């Protein structure tokens, strides 16, 4: 369905305060970064794998929810439970929280392999450094390679290693243990590929040291990020809608480390509020806008990808921030944050190009990508809770057509009724746009109003 709407018609229907024109300029010739095909990812505690039948090609809805986002993303398996996991080839799988030991066997990781082949995705697997042994890690690595085959992207040794008690914040002690593990695993599996160090967001100094030590033998540098803590009084919807003033400098530091060592980095564990998220905050539409903005900020700073943490957490409950939420009956729901990922999957194509936003009081971000087909996608994120943004996009030479999808919900607090292009994710996990708005081009510019707490994905093309 196509709707031809004028900016005036949108303004008449929008009761909120509307800003003066906000100028957005695009520079397709200035490329900030390329977006890898496997940029989009999920992150799970290893205890999720211990749930029989969860990661399986027979879990058709989850397979389709993955495929709707990407034909080839990356799953990270580990988290804190990665350092509280034991592999028993023929043992009974037992999922536990961090107070006990999770047990996985060959059958459940074989099922994981079938799931990955059904989705086209790969996996990064965490080996137990916190409470395990190098001998057990080598045995587990062999089993993972056997089950996953070419679906195994890399191993990581330990989770949030800069916070592991056994090393007491001593990087040399950690690196010595890492080398012992790596040698044992390589003795059993000579072609093993590793990523590391897997630090908290406060551990960028460990990332830098690891890059200096392991640059010649590392797939990716990996670290974590959360906007805040779920148990903090500051953990509010307003926090999610307020840009983190420190994030860009952290991402720039990671980009600098990578450039100096010819490496790439990935935020392999990320979500809104650490600790499983906060009810009525992490499960609202505000999380979709936060997620979409974070993904573009990471991509703009050259990240190789992000893994949105989901499902059961180290405390044993299903995290409020889960993009794919598992209900008590085992059914899966696409939560608001999934729609943020879906919006990125739609507009985060090809290469990120330079975008400039004029002065405005509106809490607005704009990102642009140049897709392989030559079209430009401009993502306009209005996180302002009070003002609609009246945006005027200057069109680069050769672009004469504009159309848009809307990412919207009744309010920032909404937990349901989220839509992208006026469509929801179907019961079988599929999604397809319902409404595409077409805009007339006047004076080499196109105007679009983006209501408060919503986003618009504008596609510019030559025909």
What is the CATH class of 37-347?
alpha beta
DSSP 131: S
Tell me if the domain spanning 2-33+350-461 has CATH number 2.40.50.140.
Answer: no
Q: 328-377, pLDDT tens digit by residue?
A: 899 999 999 999 999 999 999 999 999 999 999 999 999 999 999 999 99
Domain boundaries, the chain: 2-33+350-461, 37-347
Q: Mind giving me the DSSP string for 402-417?
A: EEEEEEE-S-TT-SS-
Name the pTM for this structure: 0.95
3-state helix, strand, coil split of the chain in percent (to 5) is 30, 30, 40
| Cα end-to-end distance, the chain, whole Å | 18
Reported as type and span, the H/E element at residue 436 is: strand 436-439
Give the whole-angstrom CA distance, residue 222 versus residue 210: 10
Q: 104-159, pLDDT tens digit by residue?
A: 999 999 999 999 999 999 999 999 999 999 999 999 999 999 999 999 999 999 99
Dihedral over Cα of 449, 347, 405, 64: its sign:
negative
The pLDDT score that the predictor gives to residue 3 is 39
DSSP 332: E
Contact 407, 462 (CB under 8 A): no
Give the whole-angstrom CA distance, residue 300 versus residue 252: 10
Give the whole-angstrom CA distance, residue 314 versus residue 45: 7
Confidence of residue 190 (pLDDT cuts 50, 70, 90): very high
Q: Which two tokens stand for residue 142?
A: 């062999």
Contact 437, 3 (CB under 8 A): yes
The pLDDT score that the predictor gives to residue 15 is 53
Mean pLDDT for the chain?
Answer: 95
């Amino acid at each position: 369905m196509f709707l031809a709407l004028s900016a005036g018609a949108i303004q008449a229907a929008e009761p909120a305060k509307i800003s003066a024109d906000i100028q957005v300029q695009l520079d397709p010739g200035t490329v900030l970064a390329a977006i890898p095909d496997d940029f989009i990812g999920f992150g799970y505690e290893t205890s999720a794998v211990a749930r029989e039948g969860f990661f399986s090609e027979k879990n058709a809805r989850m397979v389709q929810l993955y495929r709707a986002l990407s034909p080839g993303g990356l799953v990270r398996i580990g988290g804190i439970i990665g350092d509280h996991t034991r592999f028993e080839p023929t043992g009974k799988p037992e999922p536990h929280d961090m107070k006990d030991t999770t047990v996985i066997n060959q059958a459940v990781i074989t099922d994981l392999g079938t799931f990955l082949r059904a989705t086209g995705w790969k996996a990064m697997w965490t080996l137990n450094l916190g409470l395990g042994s190098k001998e057990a890690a080598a045995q587990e690595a062999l089993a993972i390679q056997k089950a996953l085959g070419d679906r195994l992207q890399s191993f990581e040794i330990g989770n949030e290693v800069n916070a592991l008690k056994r090393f007491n914040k001593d990087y040399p002690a950690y690196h010595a243990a890492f080398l012992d593990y790596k040698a044992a695993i390589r003795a059993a599996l000579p072609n093993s590929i590793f990523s590391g160090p897997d630090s908290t967001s406060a551990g960028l100094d460990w990332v830098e040291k690891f890059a200096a030590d392991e640059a010649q033998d590392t797939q990716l540098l990996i670290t974590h990020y959360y906007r805040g803590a779920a148990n903090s009084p500051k953990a509010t919807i307003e926090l999610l809608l307020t840009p983190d003033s420190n994030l860009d400098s952290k991402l720039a530091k990671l980009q600098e480390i990578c450039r100096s060592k010819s490496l790439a980095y990935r935020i392999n564990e990320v979500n809104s509020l650490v600790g499983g998220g906060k009810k009525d905050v992490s499960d609202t539409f505000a999380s979709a806008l936060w997620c979409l903005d974070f993904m573009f900020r990471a991509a703009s700073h050259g990240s190789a990808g992000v893994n949105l943490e989901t499902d059961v957490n180290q405390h044993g409950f299903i995290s409020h921030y889960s993009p794919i939420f598992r209900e008590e009956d085992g059914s899966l729901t696409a939560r608001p944050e999934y729609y943020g990922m879906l919006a990125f999957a739609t507009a985060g194509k090809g290469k990120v190009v330079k975008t400039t936003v004029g002065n405005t009081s509106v809490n607005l971000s704009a990102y642009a990508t140049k897709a392989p087909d030559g079209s430009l996608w401009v993502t306009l994120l209005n996180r302002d809770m009070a003002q609609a943004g009246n945006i005027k996009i200057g069109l680069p030479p050769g672009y004469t057509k504009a159309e848009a999808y809307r990412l919207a919900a009744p309010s920032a607090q909404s937990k349901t009724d989220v839509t992208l292009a006026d469509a929801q994710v179907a019961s079988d996990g599929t999604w397809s746009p319902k409404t595409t708005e077409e805009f007339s081009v006047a004076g080499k510019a196109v105007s679009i109003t983006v209501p408060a707490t919503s986003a618009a994905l504008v596609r510019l093309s030559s025909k």
